[in-house]
Structure 1
């Protein structure tokens, strides 16, 4: 099964890129804050460099996640991810926070309490700072130099409102999403399928809900766009988690994606 999941997952990502090439939609929207776009391959370069550095640099964990394997938890979490994406597109963004709190937090915590099991517990400390270089390389390539995304317009927000917005987005998006899609979902599928099938599976699950946030109305093109953007980025985030089992690199990268553009617009 693991080979099929890996093959189908990569076929989905490659197929999405081909759809955008054939239809001439290779400039993808990368933020929900405005309609700015970048060529999809520009979005891939920092990801490719980050993955390469994780692969080549020393200081990685070379072990599978510990703890009991539980298929029920894996399938329930995957169901929550799928239901979140579907309901968000059907019901709209007005229920975004409610659906996220329910399906990505409340239900998983109830499942863990009911069935127990902590497959990510008790990881050693020798890789604590090993992710610094891959994370720094990704951020520099993404926000400094010729690959940097355009700086958005300055938001019309009062200082206190701006601070609260940044904190809220950080907690609701960066922290919660990385816990759900990587620490909880990916880890449980790693126990069943191995690292890369689980990375690809969680990356696609994370990408598809963004259609509701960044879509323009053509479902096929919108789906292909989020797969080549968030889906590919998810490979880097998932690989960071699989190799290091540290949350701070994931939250740092995800938090920067959500906040750096906003911060740069204030300079």
Structure 2
């Protein structure tokens, strides 16, 4: 099964890129705040550099087994991820926060309490600041220089409102999503299939719900767009988690993806 999942996941991402090339839709949206786009390859280069740096950096410990695999938890968490994407598309963004808290936080906690066990108890320990170089490289390439996306318009919000929005977005998007998709979902599939099949599963599951957020109404093109954008970024986030088992790099990268364009617009 491991090889089939690995081959299937790669085929999904490569196929999405080919669909965009064949249809002439190679510019993808990088934010839900407006319709601005960037070339899809501009999203890949920071990811590729970040993955290479994670691979070659010497400041890490070799991975060890992450406790006892729990197939039930793995499949239930994947079903919750699929349900979140489908329901969000069907019912729209009006239920975004409710669905996210219900399906990505409360339901998993109930599952863990019901099934018991601690399948992630044997995490390896990496040097705390080892991920700093790949994280810094990804952020610099993404937001400085020729690959940087255009700075969006300044938000029409007061200072207090803007700060509250940034904090709430950080908690419900960056923190909650990384806990669910990487710490919970990816880890449990790693226990069953190994690192890269699990990284692909979590990356694709994380990418597809963005159709409801950034889609333009053509489902096939919308799916392909989020797979080559968020799907590729998910590979970097997943590899960071797989190698280091530290949450701060994931939250830093994810938080910057969401909030840094807003900060840049304030300059």
Aligned to 1:99: 99
3-state SS of the aligned residue for 2:184? Answer: helix
Q: Report the Cα distance in structure 1 between the residues aligned to 2:208 and 2:133, rounded to whole angstroms.
A: 29
Taking a change above 3 Å as real, the CA distance of residues 4 and 126 of structure 1, as seen in their structure-2 partners, is closer
Q: In 2, are the aligned partners of 1:65 and 1:119 still within 8 Å (CA)?
A: no
User: TM-score under structure 1 normalisation?
Assistant: 0.98
Aligned to 2:139: 139
Aligned to 2:22: 22
Aligned to 1:74: 74
Q: In 1, are the aligned partners of 2:63 and 2:124 still within 8 Å (CA)?
A: no
Q: CA offsets, 1:67-105, max 9 Å, x none?
A: 221111000000000000000000111000000001000
3-state SS of the aligned residue for 2:149? Answer: coil
1:250-261 matches, cutoff 5 A: 250-261=250-261
- Report the CA distance between 1:127 and its aligned residue: 1.9
Unaligned runs of 5+ in 1: none
Aligned to 1:232: 232
Aligned to 2:154: 154
- Report the CA distance between 1:123 and its aligned residue: 3.8
Aligned to 1:121: 121
- Report the CA distance between 1:124 and its aligned residue: 5.1
Unaligned runs of 5+ in 2: none
Q: In 1, are the aligned partners of 2:240 and 2:250 still within 8 Å (CA)?
A: yes
Q: In 2, are the aligned partners of 1:10 and 1:200 still within 8 Å (CA)?
A: yes
- Report the CA distance between 1:115 and its aligned residue: 1.6
Aligned to 2:210: 210
Q: Report the Cα distance in structure 2 between the residues aligned to 1:20 and 1:126, rounded to whole angstroms.
A: 38
Aligned to 1:193: 193
Aligned to 1:266: 266
- Report the CA distance between 1:62 and its aligned residue: 1.9
Q: Report the Cα distance in structure 1 between the residues aligned to 2:69 and 2:59, rounded to whole angstroms.
A: 26
User: TM-score under structure 2 normalisation?
Assistant: 0.98
Aligned to 1:246: 246
Q: CA offsets, 1:115-163, max 9 Å, x none?
A: 2233333545442110000000000000111111100000100111000
Q: In 1, are the aligned partners of 2:32 and 2:213 still within 8 Å (CA)?
A: yes
Q: Report the Cα distance in structure 1 between the residues aligned to 2:58 and 2:119, rounded to whole angstroms.
A: 24
Coordinate RMSD, CA, aligned: 1.0
Q: Report the Cα distance in structure 1 between the residues aligned to 2:120 and 2:263, rounded to whole angstroms.
A: 33
Q: Indicate yes or no: 2:34 matched with 1:53.
A: no
Runs (4 or more) in structure 1 with deviation over 6 Å come to none
- Bigger drift between 118-127 and 7-16 goes to 118-127
Q: In 1, are the aligned partners of 2:68 and 2:119 still within 8 Å (CA)?
A: yes
Q: CA offsets, 1:16-44, max 9 Å, x none?
A: 00000000000000110111110000000
Q: Report the Cα distance in structure 2 between the residues aligned to 1:118 and 1:51, rounded to whole angstroms.
A: 29
Q: Report the Cα distance in structure 2 between the residues aligned to 1:15 and 1:211, rounded to whole angstroms.
A: 17
